[in-house]
Amino acid sequence: MTTETASKPAVKKVGMIQALNMALHEAMSKDDSVIVIGEDVADPEEGGIVGVTKGLSTAYGDLRCRSTPISEQAIVGAAIGAAIMGMKPIAEIMLMNFTTVAMDMIVNHAAKLRFMSGGQTNVPLVIRTATGAGLSVGGQHADYYEAWFAHTPGIKVVMASTPADAYGLLLSAIDDPDPVIFVENTLLYFTQGEPPEPGKRIPLGLAKVVKPGSDVTLVCYGSHVAPSLAAAGKLEADGISVEVIDLRTISPWDKKTVLASVAKTGRAVITHEAVKPFGVGAEISSVIHEELFDQLKGPVQRVGAPYCPVPYSKPLEVAFMQGADAIEAAVRKTLQARAVA
């Protein structure tokens, strides 16, 4: 006699683009002050660079989802003005390299208005922008500038690695009273993941321990979460237990979670896609050494791209992108090191 066991239906995966679109629909449907502006963001255009804003102008009108001329200064300037007047603008800057065109607006106005007004004027602005190597788009279209913005007081910087996190973080960014740079990785646009819980926000500044471990702490974010988990899996086969932390928010970063993990493991590696010198990894490494020096079993290691623009040549671009092998090598290096007695 055979017994049939009912299996649970498989959970339908959600793509990164879909998750971001869901968050925008959620915010715009609940709050009329949420607006979207940017190049080609309205229908019947493509919905931005990859379709994240597709359908928004049809649902909420072209006054709330408006396509603009090709002018980053105009986009950010209009968004700052709207924010000052009580709106919650979401400005799409097609690629992160193009934020440089509006750097005066972002750094000297959006970031400083709360300070300059004595706390009387908030700028609840979200700037969504995409970047990342791997698509052979060259050095003017794929740089990571998160360290620039994190270095500027008054700006929050967010970078999600999964569709569910992107949904929850974007909702929190829209609710935030201060300007937020929301960075989206171009390769992660095409990934699938667990669907987000409707309406669930992920607080900015809260990291996520995606894999517990006891021998070394691996801090990562964005496109380097997947290769970090891959490296951790290979190391696990050799009996090395790696704790993987996804920062999710670059500024403010979750110092409490990171330091608690490193205090437990005694070793740390920080990895990111951006170039290694002067990067986010340098800041976190410095804080770890300053606050946990006596508890470290070896020096903190960093993984980042070589100090050059993103190459257009595919072989050079592959060499430029640091993956699971480089992360694994950094973990092994810190494990081999011994703290000075």
Of 26, 109, 141, 328, the active-site residue reads 141
Q: Which two tokens stand for residue 160?
A: 């999600």
194 catalytic per annotation: no
CB 70 within 8 A of CB 76: no
Residue 152: count of CB within 10 angstroms of its CB: 18
Cα 133-139-143 angle, rounded to 5 deg: 55
Distance CA 178, CA 115 (A): 11
Cα 128-46-125 angle, rounded to 5 deg: 20
CB 133 within 8 A of CB 321: yes
289 catalytic per annotation: no
| CB hemisphere CA count around 122 (13 angstroms) | 13
> Which CA distances in Å does 247 have to 7, 202, 294?
35, 12, 24
Q: Which two tokens stand for residue 62?
A: 């072209």
Residue 197: count of CB within 10 angstroms of its CB: 10
Of 72, 92, 317, 328, the active-site residue reads 72
Residues with active-site annotation:
72, 141
